[in-house]
């Protein structure tokens, strides 16, 4: 009996340690932030017909999709999210694009006009010269994105490394009023114009890119920039084609995750069984 009493604290420690370990495994993939309050966005489109929503605490993609009568897949496509639709509190999401429909004006009856007596003919005046007013320059900037095929993997674009198609790019400003997505273009740098975000209001922006399947990034995938009126910023991202070894390692990592979950469950059940046995033995 004394030996069992000595083992009881050790069993309790094992059970609590395994429980916290499994809870950490469940909580890790969620990656939903919850430390700050975010303002609520109404479903009113902006001048371009875009409708945005700022993520609040305890909100998920499916709840936001129900709120705006859309789908999770549409939200993932508009915001370049991963397949799990991972979002965080405070992020501004593009949830819908509204196309305005012209409504014909209602015809109103024209009141009868009084009869005007004929006027005497007036001498013809020569037409005045028309001088067009100069168009005011918009107070905006432009950001161009290049995804190049980094053949040598050195993280710098050199001669012979062409533009690469399929990079999903998103740009968001710090205030949450601008959120756009686009895809990089392929071609010869000497003859191909890169993909650009135009008419961006001046301010602080975050830019991120997801390289195409079968490639590994060779540069940072996120940049913080400052857009200035009348200026053009060009940012280079690099990607190198993945080797068969890289693809195999990614597949093994995905296959190993369920095994770790099963092993953790077995260990937890074993600890609970040991604790139950010790409690029963003590009652005897």
Question: Would the pLDDT of 268 be above 80?
Answer: yes
Residue 233 belongs to domain spanning: 141-241
Quick: pLDDT tens for 5-64. 556 666 677 766 666 555 544 444 433 333 334 444 456 788 888 899 999 998 999 999
Is residue 133 included in any domain, yes or no? no
- pLDDT beyond 80 at 90: yes
256 pLDDT higher than 70: no
Asked if residue 263 belongs to a domain, the reply is: yes
**Contact (CB, 8 A) for 145 and 164:** no
Answer for the pair 55, 88: CB distance below 8 angstroms, yes or no. yes
Tens-place pLDDT, residues 145-204: 999 999 998 999 999 899 999 999 999 998 889 999 999 999 999 999 999 999 999 999
* 179 and 253 together in one domain: no
Q: Are 53 and 67 in contact (CB under 8 A)?
A: yes
Same domain, 236 and 189: yes
Q: How many domains does the structure of the chain reveal?
A: 3
- In the predicted structure, residue 212 carries a pLDDT above the cut 80: yes
Last residue of a domain, one of 81, 99, 117: 99
Q: What is the pTM assigned to this prediction?
A: 0.42
In a domain, 162, yes or no: yes
Residue 4 predicted with pLDDT over 60: no
- For residue 88, the SS3 value is coil
**Do 236 and 256 reside in the same domain of the chain?**
no
Domain end residue (candidates: 224, 241, 258): 241
Structure tokens, 229: 């009126």
User: pLDDT tier at 107 (50, 70, 90 boundaries)?
Assistant: low
Q: Comparing 256 with 161, which gets the higher pLDDT?
A: 161
Rg, Å, the chain Cα set: 31
- 159 and 210 in a single domain? The answer is yes
Mean pLDDT, rounded, of the chain: 80
Distances (CA, A) of 284 to 6, 33, 51, 189, 226: 16, 49, 68, 82, 73
Whether residue 129 is contained in a domain is answered as no
What is the reported pLDDT for 136?
42
Instruction: For residue 235, give both structure tokens.
Output: 């940012």
Angle at 20 between CA 19 and CA 24, to 5 degrees: 120
Same domain, 172 and 250: no
pLDDT digits (tens, 9 = 90+) for 195-206: 999 999 999 999
* 49, part of any domain: yes
Q: Would you call 93 helix, strand, or coil by DSSP?
A: strand
For 150, the token pair is 């980094």
Whole-number pLDDT of residue 245: 73
Which one, of 231, 215, 233, lies nearest residue 223 by Cα? 233
d(C-alpha 94, C-alpha 64), whole Å: 11
């Amino acid at each position: 009996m004394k030996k069992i009493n000595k083992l009881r604290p050790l069993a309790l420690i094992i059970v609590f340690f395994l429980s916290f370990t499994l809870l950490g495994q469940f909580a890790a993939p969620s990656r939903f932030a919850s430390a700050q309050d975010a303002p609520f966005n109404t479903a009113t489109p902006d001048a371009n017909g875009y409708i945005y929503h700022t993520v609040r605490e305890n909100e998920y993609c499916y709840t936001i999709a129900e709120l705006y009568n859309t789908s999770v897949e549409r939200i993932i496509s508009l915001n370049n999210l991963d397949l799990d639709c991972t979002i965080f509190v405070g992020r501004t999401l593009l949830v819908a694009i509204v196309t305005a429909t012209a409504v014909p004006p209602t015809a109103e009856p024209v009141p009868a006009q009084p009869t005007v007596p004929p006027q005497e003919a007036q001498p013809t005046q020569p037409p005045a010269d028309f001088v067009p007013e100069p168009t005011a320059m918009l107070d905006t900037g432009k950001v161009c994105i290049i995804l190049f095929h980094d053949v040598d993997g050195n993280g710098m674009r050199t001669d012979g490394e062409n533009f690469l198609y399929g990079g999903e790019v998103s740009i968001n400003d710090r205030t949450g009023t601008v959120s756009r997505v686009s895809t990089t273009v392929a071609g010869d740098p000497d003859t191909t114009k890169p993909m650009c975000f135009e008419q961006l209001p001046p301010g602080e922006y975050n830019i991120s890119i997801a390289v195409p399947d079968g490639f590994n990034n060779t540069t940072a995938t996120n940049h913080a920039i400052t857009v200035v009126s009348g200026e053009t910023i060009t940012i280079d991202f690099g990607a190198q084609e993945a080797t068969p070894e890289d693809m195999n390692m990614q597949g093994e990592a995905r296959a190993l995750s369920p095994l770790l979950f099963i092993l953790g469950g077995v260990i937890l059940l074993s600890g609970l069984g040991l604790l139950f046995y010790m409690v029963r033995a003590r009652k005897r």
